[in-house]
């Protein structure tokens, strides 16, 4: 590669400050250091967690940055010590690392890893170190990935090598949203055959949770969203019933309880709203109901009455669907290629990276499921 070992100048969408549109800029991307991989990003989805950082979390130390964490690309060059990747490999950068060595990686009960940005910087949502500069300023790498850039540099512990025939403009969704919702149902909730489930929020994360419930054998899947435009899509993934909280003047947990003789077996919150988290918990049946938090927020405390848990409900959270990232993502890509996992149906819009602000607006107004941006030509 003619570019190996050199700084690459390329286009990226820079978030200079919160609440402002991203700006297309020429940035400099340094060569990969030891154990790092420089990736030509081919495609990226836009996930609500990008919007969270820009409009809600807005951590003062989290800007300027390049956002995007749901991408797929091709290895451009590798740093010293990298033996399992070579230029030309198709890869997905991972916002959750898997070093394989730390006590979390060694424990089958969790997919957390001590080595990545996520170990202690959930609030800032980026690593302190970065390979990006623009106009002489250090630009942070959001969630360690920064897929809204033609090139990015990621440590090999946070890169998954995937099947060479995988279409990058589809499998990018396994870098976050689809793996997250699907795994939350299968790994975290551990949805059982014949069960009744409720999924709150029908973005890509929630729809992937619906797909997970269906693949796990759930009999009834109640899809809950305040935007009825999402119901048709939810049917495609296996939802059997639809509830719009706005159609009822009683708490949604009461509506679900009446529909299910006492509550659902499993509920998944895929909105990122503490009031909805409480409703999702209260919608579960006493005795054995399990409620999983998938929506992302670090802004507010949440509340519930202790009796909810005393009566036998379980409240859990799920990060990246509980998948150990490097192990699971290549397998999920293969499951897509074998048609066991749907991806195409999530993509409602395709546009170039330069239109990223339109993709952000579409998500804000609820007029898309996933917009996939083409970043570098393949």
Among 142, 148, 151, 200, binds ligand NAD (CB under 6 A): 200
Q: Can you state the angle between helices 274-282 and 252-259, rounded to 10 degrees?
A: 30
Residue nearest to ligand NAD (CB): 203
Scanning residues 85 to 144, which ones bind ligand NAD (CB under 6 A)? none
Binding of Zn ion at residue 126 (CB under 5 A)? Answer: no
DSSP string, 223-238: EE-S-GGGHHHHHHHT
- By CB under 6 A, residue 59 contacts ligand NAD: no
- 176-to-107, 116, 180, 246, 257 alpha-carbon distances in Å: 22, 16, 6, 29, 31
**How many angstroms separate the Cα of 275 from the Cα of each of 18, 31, 271?**
24, 45, 10
Give CA–CA dist 318/176, Å, rounded: 12
Residue nearest to Zn ion (CB): 47
Residues 158-187 that bind Zn ion (CB under 5 A): 176
DSSP 146-203: --SBSEEEEEGGGEEE--TT--HHHHGGGGTHHHHHHHIIIIII---TT-EEEEE--S
Per CB under 6 A, which region of 116-124, 194-202, 231-239, 333-341 contacts ligand NAD?
194-202
Q: Contacting ligand NAD (CB under 6 A), which of 67, 154, 160, 202? A: 202
Q: Which is nearer to Zn ion, 176 or 292 (CB)?
A: 176
Q: Is 204 in the site for ligand NAD (CB under 6 A)?
A: yes
Give the H or E element holding residue 27: strand 23-29
Q: Applying CB under 5 A, which of residues 49, 97, 141, 152 lies at the interface with Zn ion?
A: 49
Candidates 24, 226, 259, 351; binder of ligand NAD (CB under 6 A) is 226
Looking at the Cβ atoms of 176 and 222, the one nearer to Zn ion is 176
Euclidean distance between the first and the last CA atom of the chain, given in angstroms as a whole number: 15
Least distance (Å) from ligand NAD to the CB of residue 200?
5
CA dist., res. 275 & res. 176, Å (int) = 24
The answer to whether 198 contacts ligand NAD (rule: CB under 6 A) is: no
Map the footprint of ligand NAD across residues 314-353, applying CB under 6 A: 318-320
Nearest one of 313, 38, 70, 331 to 176, comparing CA atoms: 70
DSSP three-state, residue 285: coil
The token duo for 362 is 């579409």
CB of 214 to ligand NAD, least distance (A): 17
Provide, rounded to whole angstroms, the least separation between the CB of residue 42 and Zn ion. Answer: 18
- The single residue among 47, 96, 153, 277 that binds Zn ion, judged by CB under 5 A, is 47
Q: Which residues contact 361 (CB under 8 A, 6 or more apart)?
A: none
Answer for which of 27, 47, 65, 66 binds ligand NAD (CB under 6 A) is 47
CB of 261 to Zn ion, least distance (A): 35
- Please tell me whether residue 369 binds Zn ion under the rule CB under 5 A: no
> What residues between 254 and 293 interact with ligand NAD by CB under 6 A?
270-273, 276
- The position carrying tokens 């006590």 is 103
Sign of CA dihedral 116, 8, 64, 57: negative
Residue 86 Cα distances to 67, 81, 150, angstroms: 25, 12, 18
Residue 205 interacts with ligand NAD (CB under 6 A): yes or no: yes
Residues that bind Zn ion (CB under 5 A): 47, 49, 176
Residues that bind ligand NAD (CB under 6 A): 47-49, 52, 176-177, 180, 200-206, 224-227, 230, 245, 270-273, 276, 294-296, 318-320, 363, 366
């Amino acid at each position: 590669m003619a570019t190996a070992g050199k700084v690459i100048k390329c286009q990226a969408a820079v978030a200079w400050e919160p609440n402002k549109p991203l700006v297309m800029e020429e940035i400099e991307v340094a060569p990969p250091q030891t154990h790092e991989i420089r990736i030509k990003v081919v495609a990226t989805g836009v996930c609500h967690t990008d919007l969270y950082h820009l409009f809600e979390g807005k951590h003062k130390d989290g800007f300027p940055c390049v956002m995007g964490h749901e991408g797929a690309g091709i290895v451009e060059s590798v740093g010293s010590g990298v033996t399992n990747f070579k230029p030309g490999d198709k890869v997905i950068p991972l916002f959750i690392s898997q070093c394989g060595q730390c006590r979390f990686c060694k424990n089958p009960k969790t997919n957390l890893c001590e080595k990545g940005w996520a170990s202690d910087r959930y609030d800032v949502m980026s690593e302190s170190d970065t390979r990006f500069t623009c106009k002489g300023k250090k630009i942070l790498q959001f969630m360690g990935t920064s897929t809204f850039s033609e090139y990015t540099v990621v440590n090999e512990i946070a890169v998954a090598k995937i099947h060479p025939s995988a279409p990058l403009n589809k499998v990018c969704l396994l870098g976050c949203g689809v793996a997250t919702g699907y795994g939350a149902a299968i790994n975290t909730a551990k949805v059982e055959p014949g069960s009744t489930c409720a999924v709150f929020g029908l973005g890509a994360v929630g729809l992937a949770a619906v797909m997970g419930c269906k693949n796990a054998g759930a009999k009834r899947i109640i899809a809950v969203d305040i935007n009825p435009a999402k119901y048709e899509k939810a049917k495609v993934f296996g939802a059997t019933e639809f509830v719009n909280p706005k159609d009822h003047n009683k708490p949604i947990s009461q509506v679900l309880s009446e529909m299910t003789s006492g509550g659902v077996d499993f509920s998944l919150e895929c909105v990122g709203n503490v009031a909805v988290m409480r409703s999702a918990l209260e919608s579960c049946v006493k005795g054995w109901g399990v409620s999983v938090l998938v929506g992302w927020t670090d802004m507010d405390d949440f509340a519930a009455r202790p009796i909810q848990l005393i009566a036998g409900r379980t409240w859990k959270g799920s990060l990246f669907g509980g998948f150990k990232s490097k192990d699971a993502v290549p397998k999920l890509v293969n499951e897509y290629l074998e048609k066991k996992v749907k991806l195409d149906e999530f993509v409602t819009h395709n546009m170039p990276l330069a239109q990223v602000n339109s993709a952000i607006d579409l998500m804000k107004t609820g007029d898309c499921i996933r917009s996939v941006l083409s970043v570098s030509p393949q």
